[in-house]
Amino acid sequence: MDGVGAVEKMTFPAGHKSVTVVGGGVAGMSAACALAEAGFRVQIVERRGYLGGRASSYLHPGVEEVIDNCQHVLFGCCTNLIGFYRRIGVAEKIHWTSDMTMIEPGGRRSRLGPFALGPLRLPAPLHGAPSLLSAHAFSMADKLALGRAFRAMMRPNAENDAQESLGAWLRRHKQTEGAMNRFWRLVIASALNADIENIALHYAAKVIRELFMNSAQAGSMGMSSVPLSELYAGAEKFLAQHGSSVDYNTNVESLSWDGTAGKWSIATRTGTLMSDYIVLALPFEAMGKLLPNMPPAAGAEKLAKQIAQHQHWPICSVHLWFDRDIADLEHAVLLDREIHWMYNKGRLQPWRKLKGTYVELVVSASRSFVALSREQAIEQSVRELAEFFPAVASAKLEKAALIKEVRATFGVPPGIDAARPSAESPWPQLFLAGDWIATGWPSTMESAARAGHLAAEALGIETERPLFCLEPDLKPSGLMRLMRQGQ
């Protein structure tokens, strides 16, 4: 990145251990930066020409604009992702908001968010109750059904059954059609990027507690005010300042272990790298492809079987540029249509200095939308967007782009926890990272950041240099503290 080459690198005395992190996504970056800060000589090996993995941006040739591969959102409860951003000096580039606007076709709006009347604040979990009770999007029967469900999910592990799907649990708790379609199938299924029949109950309950119940701070939503690749340029700068580096366009083909020397040999298409330690921060399918090219080890077969149980779910994003202002909101939840979320990128990223409007529409967990052609997807998106924002009908669509991220997130169906390995691997001096390992979180950037920190801590323990880079969870506030104490 610009300016990184001019940073003065630290020099290390002999004996400092080297670590190669394979994969430059959020998991790899968080592990690398934590280890570099602790004094290890770290190099990230990334097969692409940029950092970020599935959370990256690039210059789209069709529209000649820098766009993110998909809108990525974090929340106040994402303590490890926030800690990673703070470490690399980009925390101020996150735009925070506490409100969520739901819009029905025709334009009627409902606001969800914490209640505030001057200095008056309601304690958690009551802080969001007034906005839910006044929401036009839900009937009174819907609100009562949601209240029953929230109450049942209030206590952590109140129904400790990782084998039950969210869909089965909702039917058992007699959720109304409105609650199912406008909340569970939209807000929660979108957050976990899967349909409700393929979501383990305990992950859905975690989302409910973290985003809607534990505290207003936990549920606040953050979005990058700059392109994601610019955000993660901070990681490369941080590594350079700590005597570490990033090797781009370097594809790892195989790994071999020299037990006598206690070192790893990493074969790439451009040469061989040597390293004392390795962190494999790869998506599960990339890890599966690498396994046959690694040394035999007890436990490798079990890891292969765990990887085989994972499945990806897609996310589509439609980027639209109009010649005039068509939306007065920064973001919105769109009800009852194929498009789910609207992000007004011109307002979220004012540096673009647009004359018109640039919006990104996100469609989560929809394999039918993925199957549409570019023309079909854009035409449907514009038509549906006009139902929520009438100004679209008179605006001119100047350009558009469709991004299909078919491997956006891994699924979290009932029983998936058995397929999530720890950061420790079957091989010596080698550790695993990635959002799919056992972090206790579903497929999110927070899970990836936690995985990186877990790998760094495990490596530190092995080298007798304990690291404390895993950020603690955000504590519940208000009445939710009593729920935690009652466990």
Write the DSSP assignment of 16-52 as a string of letters.
PPEEEEE--BHHHHHHHHHHHHTT-EEEEE-SSSSSB
Q: Which residue type, as a one-letter code, is found at position 331?
A: H
User: Mean per-residue pLDDT for 360-367?
Assistant: 91
> With b meaning 16 or more CB within 10 Å and e meaning fewer, what string describes 399-411?
ebbbbbbebbbbb
* Separation of alpha carbons 319 and 338, rounded Å: 15
> With b meaning 16 or more CB within 10 Å and e meaning fewer, what string describes 332-366?
bbbbebbbbbbbbbbbbbeeeebeebbbbbbbbbb
Over residues 315-332, the pLDDT tens digits come to 999 999 999 999 999 999
Find out whether 39 and 244 touch, Cβ atoms under 8 Å. no
Over residues 432-451, the pLDDT tens digits come to 999 999 999 999 999 999 99
Over residues 76-100, the pLDDT tens digits come to 999 999 999 999 999 999 999 999 9
CATH class in words for 123-218: mainly alpha
User: Mean per-residue pLDDT for 118-125?
Assistant: 88
What residue ranges do the domains of the chain occupy? 4-8+15-56+227-310+413-462, 60-78+312-410, 123-218
CATH class in words for 60-78+312-410: alpha beta
Over residues 143-174, the pLDDT tens digits come to 999 999 999 998 766 545 678 999 999 999 99
pLDDT-derived band at 118 (thresholds 50, 70, 90) equals: confident
With a cut of 70, say whether residue 406 has pLDDT above it. yes
Find out whether 57 and 63 touch, Cβ atoms under 8 Å. no
pLDDT attached to residue 112 = 94
**Helices and strands in the chain, H and E counts:** 17, 22
Of 470, 432, 466, 465, give the one whose Cα is nearest residue 450: 470
pLDDT attached to residue 6 = 32
Of 250, 252, 248, give the one whose Cα is nearest residue 232: 248
User: Mean per-residue pLDDT for 412-426?
Assistant: 96
pLDDT-derived band at 113 (thresholds 50, 70, 90) equals: very high
pLDDT attached to residue 163 = 86
pLDDT-derived band at 16 (thresholds 50, 70, 90) equals: confident
With a cut of 50, say whether residue 452 has pLDDT above it. yes
pLDDT attached to residue 484 = 55
Over residues 332-354, the pLDDT tens digits come to 999 999 999 999 999 999 999 89
- 180 vs 117, residue with greater confidence: 180
How many C-beta neighbours within 10 Å does residue 126 have?
A: 15
pLDDT attached to residue 5 = 34
Find out whether 380 and 373 touch, Cβ atoms under 8 Å. no
| CATH number of this structure's domain 4-8+15-56+227-310+413-462 | 3.50.50.60
User: Mean per-residue pLDDT for 471-485?
Assistant: 86
- 121 vs 257, residue with greater confidence: 257
Q: Average pLDDT, whole number, for the chain?
A: 92
Burial of 381 (0-12, 13-18, 19+ CB in 10 A): buried
